[in-house]
Amino acid sequence: MPELPEVEYAARRARRVLHGRRIVALRTHHPSQARALPERHARQAQGRAVVGVERRGKAQLILLDTGASLLVHFRMNGDWALGRRATALPPHARVSLDLDDGRRLTLVDSRALCRVTWHAASAPPRLHLGPEADDPSLTPADLRQRFGRKRGPLKPALMDQAVLAGIGNIYASEACWHAQVSPRARASSLTRPRAERLLEGLRAALADGHVNAGRYHRGERQIPFRVYDREGEPCDRCAATIRRAVQAGRSTYWCPRCQAR
């Protein structure tokens, strides 16, 4: 699933294409998306100018000149594809935005899980998000306060968007590795020194993600992650063998030596 660095990268690409342009046509190309964005809502966006594109956690907001907005969520593997209005739609097209300069921005998703929804100015989307994980004002005390209410392990708590916005399975594992904390430790047991290391670990993991922006598929990342998807390989820090376990239905990767519980 695309997480904060990947969604930020996608939002910047969309912003370059959409900002200041007028939407000539907004169309859906899959039954599930047509249910999320019915024709009466799509018509509300047609003819409107885009005044901004923002990222909120793992979601994107396309802001219109009426004050209304389009909420875009990639879910597991959605992405933007840029083309021309005169050409055929790309494979797995789910939603397309035809623009007044002849270009077309298409939301593609082979699994058809992505979503675009329209929201009136009087009813903006309610995302129920915690602070952005890359917020420079975030402090170790903030982390302790937010995780203090969680009874389960640390790594699933990191993925709770109401606790921190933007972190998913990959960067939760990576942050724990950078911080040298166990992803299986109780979230509520976070001491101040561990909270300081975890905050540094989050920032290091996200910084790495921004440098290596782009969607990850198994074995396709030019620079490997530190632990994610590296079961059985040596840890870059201590050479112990990286392990994998399942937490909350997702794979967790960690080093048993330098991330001992």
Please give the pLDDT value at position 53: 98
- Under the banding of pLDDT at 50, 70 and 90, the label for residue 23 is very high
Provide mean pLDDT across the span 64-68: 97
Cβ-contact 209, 6 below 8 angstroms: yes
* Cα dihedral value 11, 34, 88, 108, nearest 10: 40
DSSP category for residue 48: P
d(CA 239, CA 67): 54
Contact 207, 172 (CB under 8 A): no
Instruction: Please report, to the nearest 10 degrees, the dihedral formed by the alpha carbons of residues 103, 22, 43, 6 taken in order.
Output: 60
Once rounded to an integer, what is the mean pLDDT over residues 154-176?
Answer: 96
Spatial contact of 71 and 52, defined as CB atoms under 8 Å apart: no
What pLDDT is attached to residue 153?
Answer: 96
pLDDT of residue 1: 74
Residue 180: CB atoms within 10 A of its CB come to 17
Categorize the per-residue pLDDT at 217 as very low, low, confident or very high, splitting at 50, 70 and 90. low
Question: Rounded CA gap, 115 and 241, in Å?
Answer: 39
Residue 216 has pLDDT above 90, yes or no: no
Q: Which residues are catalytic?
A: 2-3, 58, 250
Look up the pTM and report it: 0.92
**Euclidean distance between CA atoms 261 and 258, whole angstroms:** 9
What pLDDT digit, counting tens, does each position of 179-206 carry? 999 999 999 999 999 999 999 999 999 9
